[in-house]
Structure 1
Amino acid sequence: MNWIRDCLSSNSSVDQKTRTLRDKISTLVARESDVRTEVEHAEIQLGYKRRNEVDNWLKNVQVKKDEVQSILKDGQDQGSSSNSNLTDRLDRLIAEVDELMQQGDKFRDRLVLSDQESTRLPLWLGKKPAGTNFQQNYERILEWLQHQENHIIGVYGMGGVGKTTLLMKIHDEVLKNSNLYGRVYWVTVSQNWSVHKLQGDIAKVLGLGSLEEDDKRKRAAILHNKLVANGPTVLILDDMWKQFSENDVGISREGSSCKTILSTRSLEVCRRMGCKDFVIKAKILQKFEAWYLFVENLGHYNTLTVEAKEIARDIAKECGGLPLAITTMACTMSEIVDIHEWKNALKD
């Protein structure tokens, strides 16, 4: 009768372990469903992608689900003679399911990471910029990027003259032809800048997220290593007001294939940044170019009275050949036909 008791005891153990495995795999499946939902939701938004460890975990969970389903099905047909082997397999699977649950808990709050590649979209969506100087500068910068060694290019000129527009067009051309120029990244520096802030902004566009390191030199080393690993890179720094040390920030050209383009109102900033022979002045539009741009953005010039047309010319002159001022003023007067409003605009 002992073999009967042993058989019943063994069957009871298998049943208990089977129930345990069913409960645990159900918990794991629920966790898998939550992870998959969160990841897929995040990936819909530009700028995020699933971590490799999360992707591997999901694949491992699927494999384990198939294996558990197989053993539970096979267990229905197992005889008492194979209970020992079945118990060992159940124990192993229970342990492996537990391990997958623990792994899933480790990255509960970090399922995705920043994916700047997906957010690097074209920046300029407007009409073709006006002026022969713009086109000449555009072609010259692209030639420098393609044929010169690592260097820093400076674009300077007064506010509103079109420096940012020029760099946006350069950005889009490099983005479109990354096989020729390398990767391109855009950072707006602005007047209220600091080395720490600039390092953080560069880290974000490079896909490093927020730098947890506070030491300036260590932050610089992290950025430099990323740029070296990146290969050919074009880093655009728009709206610079003061010079800084490339080594202090972490964008030193030594050892990397990074080329930098900066825009500033000051020629002195270009010189102090070491632009040397790679400096371009963004000039105001010539009179006929300025007038053409004004009329193009106004849209209804031919419907104006003779007096309003004369005022329109005077307003265009007041813009001083600055594309931003011309475009802004013309768009403001778009569809305005009342002569009194035109006179008021000229006075203002």
Structure 2
Amino acid sequence: MATLRAIGGKCRALMAAAKTSTAASVESSATKTTAAKKSKPVSAASATKGILKPVPVSPTLSQFIGSNEASRTEVVKKNPENKKEIICDEKLKVLFSGKDRVGFLEIAKLLSVHFVKAGAAMARELSTLLLAGTATGTIQPVTVWNGIKVGKKIIEFIGEVPEWINYNQNLENHLQLLKRKTEFLESREADVVIELKNIEHQSGRKRKEEVNHWLRRVKTKVTDVRKVDDDINTVSYLPRFLFRAWLGSCIGKEIDQVNDLVQQGSFTTGLLLDAPRDCGGPLVTSDLKGAVVVQKLDEIWGHLISPFTVRIGVQGPAGIGKTAVMAHIFNRLCSSCRVFYVNVPPDFSIYNLQACIAEELKVDHLPQTEGSEIRRAARLCQAFKSMKEFVLILDGLPKDFAPGDLGISLEGNKGKIIVTSQCLNVCKRMLCQETVVLESLSREDSENLFMEKLAADSPLSEDIRSVARDIIQKCSGIPSKIIDMAVQLRGADVNEWLDTSSDM
């Protein structure tokens, strides 16, 4: 028994030692694990995701925290320490919508309005880059405008986040719908073309310019739809879901535009012009040079046929071709409505401009005494009001004026006014709803125009060709300068070319 008792005592001692050792081992292991967890650094990737990601903040919050960017967790840490409720001072009231007291759970909601949306940040960055590029001359105006249009599309797409899933899931169905509507539009286009061939020949009348404009828009739209169809299976650098959502958004807009063209193609007032009215006959015109100029002409015409646009501005430097473009516009209009073309006199005054308009409108017996502008305006106003539809072109306006001072009435009729000026501010102060800016010719178009007007009997020598390129470049894409230089150098020798280049 004593032996057994001794063995039992030793066993208990061994068990106690083992238990102590195990506990120590577990404690040591736990301590190491905890230390490892504490010492494990947070990865850079996880520190820039979710609520930890720094984002742009509003000017109000930026002034409060002293930084232009911050994560949501950092901003909350900067609030006064109070576990349940914050008593706001004047600074915090600005951030928290003027509240005196704010619960802890309200903080995130109230701060959310101060974090700049991704689209707004993108737009701000895009605007900064475009303005900087324009100031340094590295970005052309056309590039700026295209960049703005792309930026607007991206921002609109970001605002459609709730619809992304719908766009992605129904992409193929919407594409088929777009194809069916486009096929219907093409059928309507074919019907219009056949109808035009029949009735133009029979009546001897011309088709309306709005019909030609509609046909051009249909061809452009059909091309755009085909491009969308080609892109449907293309995976860009974007994730496939996002890319399909983007395509779905584009297809939705294409469907709306096709529907608009189908509706406009009904032509309830007919396809042909009414009997021509006397407007003094067409003006002598020359072919417009350069694809950009032709596009600008179509842009002006699009504004003219819009029922919502009454005042249109055309701006560009001297010699850019404003008068040539207006002559084409006049000839397009003169067979469909009453159009009046007025060259604004260099010695601009209300009195002188009234006289020019009266001569164009064939209004006789205007008061001729000084200070009679008000009575002259009343006579002109009566003449304009007697017309149901008219277009007044004022070419070369050096300064703005109130249309009422001249007697131009745009109320109670379908009158429109087109103003051309070298100064963009004149168009703005004339309250033009749309302003078309004419741009200089490209290098290729400038060279083609120069060689056409030079009318050389034989190819130019290499020496003269080099000087010609320098002269063309100094003309800065201004058509009138290019034409003047070409006419001046017809039949000239190398020395005359060199002298002309050095004098420019």
- Residue in 1 that maps onto 2:353: 198
1:155-199 CA deviation, whole Å, 9 max, x = no partner? 011111111111111111112x32xxx111111114411111111
SS at match of 1:153: strand
Q: How does 1:202-241 map to 2 (within 5 A)?
A: 202-212=357-367, 214=369, 215-241=372-398
Structure 1 unaligned spans of 5+ = 1-116
Q: How does 1:1-348 map to 2 (within 5 A)?
A: 120-126=280-286, 128-149=287-308, 151-175=310-334, 177-178=335-336, 182-212=337-367, 214=369, 215-276=372-433, 278-300=434-456, 302-336=458-492, 338-348=493-503
Contact 1:227 1:257 survives alignment (8 Å): no
Distance 1:150 1:305 in 2: 52
Deviation at 1:298, TM superposition (A): 0.9
Bigger Rg, structure 1 or 2: 2
TM-score (norm 2): 0.43
Name the aligned partner's letter for residue 125 of structure 1.
Answer: T
Aligned length: 225
Deviation at 1:296, TM superposition (A): 1.1
SS at match of 2:416: strand
Name the aligned partner's letter for residue 120 of structure 1.
Answer: G
Contact 1:224 1:250 survives alignment (8 Å): yes
Contact 2:303 2:309 survives alignment (8 Å): no
TM-score (norm 1): 0.61
Distance 1:141 1:294 in 2: 26
Deviation at 1:313, TM superposition (A): 1.1
Structure 2 unaligned spans of 5+ = 1-276
**Does the C-alpha gap of structure 1 residues 301 and 272 become closer, same or farther in structure 2, counting only changes over 3 Å?**
farther
CA RMSD of aligned residues (A): 1.8
Distance 1:118 1:253 in 2: 21
Contact 1:161 1:283 survives alignment (8 Å): yes
Name the aligned partner's letter for residue 122 of structure 1.
Answer: P
Deviation at 1:131, TM superposition (A): 1.5
Name the aligned partner's letter for residue 288 of structure 2.
Answer: P
Q: Determine which structure has greater relative contact order: mean sequence separation of CA pairs < 8 Å that are 6+ residues apart, divided by chain length.
A: 1
**Does the C-alpha gap of structure 1 residues 150 and 226 become closer, same or farther in structure 2, counting only changes over 3 Å?**
farther
Contact 2:279 2:339 survives alignment (8 Å): no
Distance 1:230 1:243 in 2: 24
**Does the C-alpha gap of structure 1 residues 210 and 319 become closer, same or farther in structure 2, counting only changes over 3 Å?**
farther
Contact 2:391 2:418 survives alignment (8 Å): yes
Deviation at 1:335, TM superposition (A): 2.7
Name the aligned partner's letter for residue 123 of structure 1.
Answer: L
Structure 1 runs (4+) greater than 6 angstroms displaced = none
Distance 1:165 1:335 in 2: 27
